Amino acid sequence: MTGRRTRAERDRLIEEAIAFIQAAEKEAELAFCLEVGEHLFRGLFGNDLELFRSTSRWKEQSLRRIAADPRVNLPAEVLSNSVHTYIVLRVLKQRRNATRVPDISPWTWGETWALVDDPGILVAVLDWVVRRKVGRETVREVVQIVAPYIEAGGRIEDLLVDQEVVKRADARYRMSRRMLGVERKWILAASGIPEDTVQDLLSIIDEILAILDKGR
C-alpha cells in the first residue's frame, strides 16, 4: 500500500475518525458522570436518598465547595446531575436487572430524576427516550406534566408519542378523548379564568369530541 489515497477516501476516513471521537467522548462523559455520582451519593450523602433530596444549606454548600476547588473546577450543577444520573440508572437496573447503559446523555438522564419514586413511569419514559431519541427539552416538559396528567385521568402513553401507536385509529381516538378529558378537568379546576372564557373553552372541547365521535 503506497499510502496515497483519493480525496473521497481521505474524506471518508476523516468522517469516520470524527464519529469515533464523538462516540468515545460521549461514552467517557457518561462513565465520568456515573462514577462521580456514585461516589458523591455513597460518600458525601451516605447512600441516603432523603439526605440528598434535602434542601439544607449544608448540601448546597458542600457541592459548591467541591465544584469550586481548583482541582475539580466544575459547575455545581454537573455534580448534582451526576448524582441524579447515578440514582436513575440504579432504579432502572433494579427494575429491569439491566447490565447495559442506554445511550442517553447525562443531562437527559438527569431530567428524569423527578420520576425515581415511580419506577414504572420512569422506565417507560426512559424506554421512550431511547426508542425515539428524544431530546432533553422534550423530556423535561414530559416529566413536569406527567404526574398531574395521570392524576387527572390520563395515561403515560398519551404523552410518550410513538408513531406505531399514532398510526392506529382506535388508539388515536382513545388517546385524544383522554387528553381532552384531562383538559376539561384542568379548565374546571383552574382559578382566575372568567366564567365566559371557561364556557367557551368547554364548548370547543365538546365540538372536538363530537368530531372525533363522528369520524370513528
Q: What is the pLDDT of residue 55?
A: 81
Secondary structure of the chain in the HEC alphabet? CCCCCCHHHHHHHHHHHHHHHHHHHHHHHHHHHHHHHHHHHHHHCCCCHHHHHCCCHHHHHHHHHHHHCCCCCCCHHHHHHHHHHHHHHHHHHHHHCCCCCCCCCHHHHHHHHHHCCCHHHHHHHHHHHHHHCCCHHHHHHHHHHHHHHHHCCCCHHHHCCCHHHHCCHHHHHHHHHHHHHHHHHHHHHCCCCCHHHHHHHHHHHHHHHHHHHHCC
Q: Do the Cβ atoms of 45 and 62 come closer than 8 Å?
A: no
pLDDT tens digits, 134-191: 889 999 999 998 988 988 888 888 888 765 655 666 677 777 888 888 888 888 888 8
Amino acid identity at 211: I
pLDDT tens for each residue of 191-204: 888 888 888 888 88
**What pLDDT is attached to residue 167?**
60
**C-beta separation of 68 from 95 below 8 A:** no
Task: Give the tens place of pLDDT for each residue, 92-122.
Answer: 888 876 666 777 888 888 899 999 999 889 9
Mean pLDDT on 29-35: 91
pTM reported for the whole predicted model: 0.74
pLDDT beyond 60 at 2:
no
For cell 406527567, the residue is 146
Bigger pLDDT: 65 or 175? Answer: 65
CA distances to 48, 180, 198 from 189, rounded to whole Å, are 37, 14, 10
Q: Tell me the average pLDDT across 37-53.
A: 93
Q: How much is the CA Rg of the chain, to the nearest whole Å?
A: 23
The rounded distance, in Å, linking the Cα atoms of 72 and 66 is 7
Burial class (CB in 10 A: 0-12, 13-18, 19+), 157: middle
Confidence of residue 215 (pLDDT cuts 50, 70, 90): low
Q: What percent of the chain has pLDDT over 70?
A: 91
% of the chain with per-residue pLDDT over 90: 28
Q: Taking a C-beta distance cutoff of 8 angstroms, is the pair 102, 126 a contact?
A: yes
The predicted structure's pLDDT at residue 1: 46
What is the 3 state secondary structure string of 150-178? HHCCCCHHHHCCCHHHHCCHHHHHHHHHH
- Mean of pLDDT over the chain: 85
Residue 60 has pLDDT above 50, yes or no: yes
C-alpha cell at 86: 447515578
pLDDT at 198: 84
Q: Which residue has the higher pLDDT, 166 or 60?
A: 60
CA dist., res. 135 & res. 104, Å (int) = 9
The dihedral region occupied by 73, where left means phi > 0, alpha psi between -120 and 50, and beta the remainder, is left
